[in-house]
Amino acid sequence: MAGSPEVAVRPAVAADAAAVARIHHRGWTESYRGLVPHAHLEGLSYDACLARWQAGIQGATRMLVADVGSAVVGFVTFGPSADADARAAGEVWDLWVLPEERSRGIGAALLQAGLVELATSYRAGLVWVLEGNARGRAFYERHGGVRDGVSRTQLVAGGTMADVRYLFDLRGVPSVGQ
């Protein structure tokens, strides 16, 4: 892609927590306006995001970050699925890229790296996407995700959020190091 940045995807370290929290907070509060109840978005704080990621990066969360130059501009988290009907699958839990860095291949690089990691332990992967997130749904479809017809509704402050699930066949994804 002409003009695409040089992206380096690497494991997250504790020092990345503030950048990851900023990306996560901005992603929710800017990208989901009009898709998620206003009261829920207003209740999200940067400080809560920071505390979550400080604990997560230092804990068991599997996370990769994308660097452009010396700046963290995106991240992906992944691990085992908690879905009762998909316990043998891996799951992409979060994938966020700074709004100003989108459509430059960074999300694709993060997704591919996360799927490669999941393929070392699972034959299938899944991701939940906000039903009204047309951009996100199109992204996962372009990268091989297939909607499986499963959906869920979550109660949040001010209303509900509806998600749809996409599956990825990981059997053809190369192992790490191939």
Q: What single string gives the DSSP state of each residue in 96-122?
A: EE-GGGTTSSHHHHHHHHHHHHHHTT-
Residue span of the structural domain in which 160 resides: 7-169
What letter does residue 9 receive in the DSSP assignment? E
Domain presence at residue 177? no
Query: 5 pLDDT exceeds 80?
Result: no
pLDDT at 142: 96
What letter does residue 33 receive in the DSSP assignment? B
Query: 175 pLDDT exceeds 80?
Result: no
**pTM of the model as a whole:** 0.93
Give the number of domains in the chain: 1
Cα dihedral angle (57, 59, 49, 38), rounded to 10 degrees? 120
Domain presence at residue 175? no
Whether residue 89 contacts residue 81, with contact meaning beta carbons closer than 8 Å, is answered with yes
Q: What is the average pLDDT across 128-155?
A: 96
What letter does residue 141 receive in the DSSP assignment? H
Domain presence at residue 59? yes
Q: E strands, the chain, where?
A: 7-11, 62-68, 71-80, 90-97, 124-130, 146-156, 159-169
* pLDDT one-digit tens code per residue, 12-43: 999 999 999 999 999 999 989 889 999 999 98
Domain presence at residue 125? yes
